[in-house]
Structure formats: C-alpha cells, structure tokens
A and B are shown apart, each in its own frame.
Chain A
Amino acid sequence: DIQMTQSPSSLSASVGDRVTITCRASQSISSYLNWYQQKPGKAPKLLIYAASSLQSGVPSRFSGSGSGTDFTLTISSLQPEDFATYYCQQSYSTLRYTFGQGTKLEIK
C-alpha cells in the first residue's frame, strides 16, 4: 500500500502569512495527488487535484505543486476562513486511495 506522510502535523500562522504544507508518498505517484480542506463538523472539500489543478470555485491563493513523491500545498496569503485541517490524498492506485494524516492550521 502507498503511504502518505504530511508535515507539519500542526501549524500556527497569522492572517496574511504565506503557508506551505508538504506531503510525501512512499513510492512515486506521478501527479495523482489531491488536497482537501476540512473544517470542524463538516465534510472535506476538494481544493487541488492532479497535484496542481485548482478545483472550480476555490480561491487562487491556493496552489499545489510537485510530482513523483514530493508535493506541496501553498496558501499565498492566509485568510480567516482558511484555518482548518488539510489532507493530501494519493489517487495513483485507482479507487484505492490513502490519505495523509492531516495538517491542522491554527491561528497564531
């Protein structure tokens, strides 16, 4: 099975900061990497698919990059509504997905 490791597990930042979250796969997954945002008590929301494609309706301050085993999610200027938990997900194994453990983004 493909293992996904996110870092950091938690992060404190301020409104306006630039933030980067990383995700590493245990084997090459090409660009089959997605990012989700989850707020407390809510379902996950798709932000980025195929490593760098922005889902419709998602603000352009969110961006993704990487391929192979190393990926990043960047928020260029944090807004109050961005404080949430972020998950990466590999989709290289079609319909046998695995998620990273999550990164909780908190207000400093």
Chain B
Amino acid sequence: EVQLVESGGGLVQPGGSLRLSCAASGFTFSSYAMSWVRQAPGKGLEWVSAISGSGGSTYYADSVKGRFTISRDNSKNTLYLQMNSLRAEDTAVYYCAKETVTTAKSYSDYWGQGTLVTVSS
C-alpha cells in the first residue's frame, strides 16, 4: 500500500525557514517523480515544486522560485521541501504527491495527508 506521510509543519515568523519532509513507502521511491502542492486556508490547490526520480531535475512555481528548494534522499525514501524567506502568503497546508509520468500521461496518483505551515508574527 502506498503511503505518504508529511511532517515538519508549524508556526514560523515572516522571514524564517522551515523544512518539510515526506516519508514514502509501498512503492519504489527512486522510480517516481514527486511533487509538493499547497492549499491556503479556504483556497484552491497550488502546485509548488516537483523533482524527478533521480533528483537530477527540479521545477518550481514562480511564487516560490529562489526561496524554496526541493530535494530527495532515495536511500531514506524521503522527499524534502526547504522553505526560506517565508511570507504570510506561504501559509497553507502542504501536500506531497507521487507522480506517474509517461509519454502519454502524467498525474498525481497518491497524496499525503498534508502538513500545516503558518507564517505569522
């Protein structure tokens, strides 16, 4: 059974940093790209960042480029999101998702339960 468990959320002051983790199990972690998607309170889904299975390719939304860094440790089956220079508008539930990517289709087929990040003084 595929399981994704996020951790690391919490309350942080504006300008601060936080590192989120996503522990994966039930599939060959290194074979799949992974993503982070967030949802501000009462708002819709926003794609944040993604990383290839090997970790060699990374992608970011313009809203977080230069502030957030996605990485993975395939030996630990864990995905990370390092978030620096946090702003109030980064307040959201952050989900990690497993990606299935082929030449004909690409989708997020499993999601974690989410971890809440609150940026406030």
Binary interface encoding of chain A residues 80-96 relative to chain B, with 1 for a CB under 8 A from any of its CBs, else 0: 00000001010100111
A105 to chain B, nearest CB (A): 14
Q: How many A-B residue pairs have CB under 8 A?
A: 71
Q: Is A14 positioned at the interface, with any CB of B under 8 Å from its CB?
A: no
The A contact surface, by secondary structure, is loop
Q: Is A74 positioned at the interface, with any CB of B under 8 Å from its CB?
A: no
Contacts of B37 in A (CB 8 A): 44
Contact call B113/A91, Cβ cutoff below 8 A: no
Q: Assess A34 versus B33: contact at CB under 8 Å? Given A87-B45, A95-B101, A98-B47.
A: no
Contact call A43/B99, Cβ cutoff below 8 A: no
In whole angstroms, what is the CA distance A55 to B50 when docked? 22
In whole angstroms, what is the CA distance A96 to B49 when docked? 8
8 pairs from A and B in contact (CB 8 Å cutoff): A43-B114, A45-B111, A87-B44, A91-B105, A95-B57, A97-B50, A97-B108, A102-B45
Interface set of A (CB-CB < 8 Å, partner B): 1, 31-32, 34, 36, 38, 42-46, 49-50, 53, 55, 87, 89, 91, 94-102
